[in-house]
Amino acid sequence: MLLYALARPLAQTLAATNSSVTDLFDPTTGKCVNIDGCRTVSDIVYSCLSVVLICTWVAIHPNVPEVGKHSAVVLYDDFQLMIVALLAPELVIMWAMRQWFSAKKITEKYKKYGWGMPHAFLVLMGGFALYDGEKFCGYLWEGRDENDELHEKYWNQITKHHRTVREALGRPEVDVKEEGEKDEGQVDDQPTSDQTHLLPNSESQLPANSEDHGPEPSESCLLEYLIANGCITITEDEINDNLSHGDIISKSIAVVQTTWFLLQVIARAVEGIAITELEIVTVAFALLNFGTYFLWWNKPLRIRHPVRVYWRQNEWKEKSESTDESTDGQTGRGAIFKGISTLTNYIIGSDDEVDSALTLFFLVMFIPLFVVIWFFVACWTVLVGDPDTENRRAGSGHKVLFSTRLKGAPMRLSVSVFIIAGLFGAIHCIPWEFQFPTHTEKLLWRVSALTITTGPSAMVIMLMFVGLSGTSNWLEMILIVIAVLPSVLYVIGRIILIVLALTALRDLAPSAYQTVEWTTFIPHIG
* Residue with more model confidence, 134 or 31: 134
Q: Look at residue 210 and tell me whether its pLDDT is greater than 80.
A: no
CB 460 within 8 A of CB 487: no
Distance CA 155, CA 133 (A): 17
Q: Which of 103-112, 360-369, 449-458 has the lowest mean pLDDT?
A: 360-369
Distance CA 487, CA 490 (A): 5
Q: What pLDDT shows up at residue 343?
A: 55
Q: Look at residue 178 and tell me whether its pLDDT is greater than 70.
A: no
Q: What pLDDT shows up at residue 87?
A: 82
* Residue with more model confidence, 88 or 350: 88
Q: What pLDDT shows up at residue 206?
A: 43
Give the pLDDT band (50/70/90) at residue 17. very low
What is the arithmetic mean of pLDDT over 174-183?
45
Q: Which of 273-287, 390-404, 424-438, 474-488 has the lowest mean pLDDT?
A: 390-404
- The string of DSSP codes covering 81-140 is HHHHHHH-HHHHHHHHHHHHHHHHHHHHHHGGGT--HHHHHHHHTT-EEEEETTEEEEE-
N-term to C-term CA, the chain: 32
* Residue with more model confidence, 393 or 84: 84
Nearest Cα neighbor of 284 from 489, 3, 46, 1 is 3
Q: What pLDDT shows up at residue 112?
A: 93
Q: Look at residue 395 and tell me whether its pLDDT is greater than 60.
A: no
Alpha-carbon dihedral angle through residues 155, 159, 161, 162, given to the nearest 10 degrees:
140
Reported residue count of the chain is 526
Q: Look at residue 496 and tell me whether its pLDDT is greater than 70.
A: yes
For 379, list phi and psi in degrees, rounded to 5. -60, -40
Q: What pLDDT shows up at residue 471?
A: 58
Q: Which of 43-52, 251-260, 320-329 has the lowest mean pLDDT?
A: 320-329
Secondary structure letter of residue 178 according to DSSP: G
Distance CA 358, CA 343 (A): 16
In degrees, to the nearest 5, what angle opens at C-alpha 235 toward C-alphas 234 and 237? 130
Mean pLDDT of the chain: 73
Q: Look at residue 189 and tell me whether its pLDDT is greater than 60.
A: no
Q: Which of 208-222, 341-355, 426-440 has the lowest mean pLDDT?
A: 341-355
Identity of the amino acid at 37: G
Q: Could you report the per-residue pLDDT of 45-97, keeping only the tens digit for each?
A: 999 999 988 877 788 888 898 888 888 888 888 888 888 888 888 888 888 98
Across 347-381, b (16+ Cβ under 10 Å) vs e yields beeeeeebeeeeebeebbeeeeeeeeebbeebbbb
* Residue with more model confidence, 40 or 500: 500
Q: Look at residue 524 and tell me whether its pLDDT is greater than 60.
A: no
Nearest Cα neighbor of 465 from 483, 486, 485 is 483
Q: Look at residue 379 and tell me whether its pLDDT is greater than 60.
A: yes
Q: What pLDDT shows up at residue 482?
A: 72
Distance CA 483, CA 156 (A): 45
Distance CA 246, CA 242 (A): 10
CA distance readout (Å), 42 to 109, 232, 490, 497, 513 = 51, 51, 29, 19, 11
* Residue with more model confidence, 343 or 503: 503
Q: Quick one: three-class SS letters along 405-438?
A: CCCCCCHHHHHHHHHHHHHHHHHCCHHHHCCCCC
For 376, list phi and psi in degrees, rounded to 5. -70, -35
Give the pLDDT band (50/70/90) at residue 110. very high
Q: Look at residue 42 and tell me whether its pLDDT is greater than 70.
A: yes
CB 73 within 8 A of CB 342: yes
270 Cβ contact list (under 8 Å, min separation 6): 5, 10, 13, 521
For 143, list phi and psi in degrees, rounded to 5. 90, 160
Nearest Cα neighbor of 258 from 95, 52, 85 is 52
Q: Look at residue 6 and tell me whether its pLDDT is greater than 70.
A: no
Q: What pLDDT shows up at residue 91?
A: 83
Identity of the amino acid at 354: V
User: How crowded is the C-beta side of 124, counted as CA atoms within 13 Å?
Assistant: 32
* Residue with more model confidence, 497 or 475: 497
Q: Could you report the per-residue pLDDT of 433-458, keeping only the tens digit for each?
A: 998 999 999 999 999 999 999 877 77
Q: Look at residue 297 and tell me whether its pLDDT is greater than 80.
A: yes
88 Cβ contact list (under 8 Å, min separation 6): 379, 490, 491, 494
Q: Look at residue 400 and tell me whether its pLDDT is greater than 70.
A: no
Q: Look at residue 349 and tell me whether its pLDDT is greater than 60.
A: no
Q: Where do the H-state alpha helices sit in 187-315?
A: 222-228, 236-238, 248-271, 277-295
Distance CA 272, CA 9 (A): 8
Instruction: Give the gyration radius of the chain's Cα atoms.
Output: 28
Q: Which of 65-74, 226-235, 314-323, 346-355 has the lowest mean pLDDT?
A: 314-323
Q: Look at residue 200 and tell me whether its pLDDT is greater than 80.
A: no
* Residue with more model confidence, 378 or 320: 378
What is the arithmetic mean of pLDDT over 498-518?
90
Q: Which of 186-190, 346-350, 355-359, 380-384 has the lowest mean pLDDT?
A: 186-190
3-class DSSP assignment, residue 259: helix
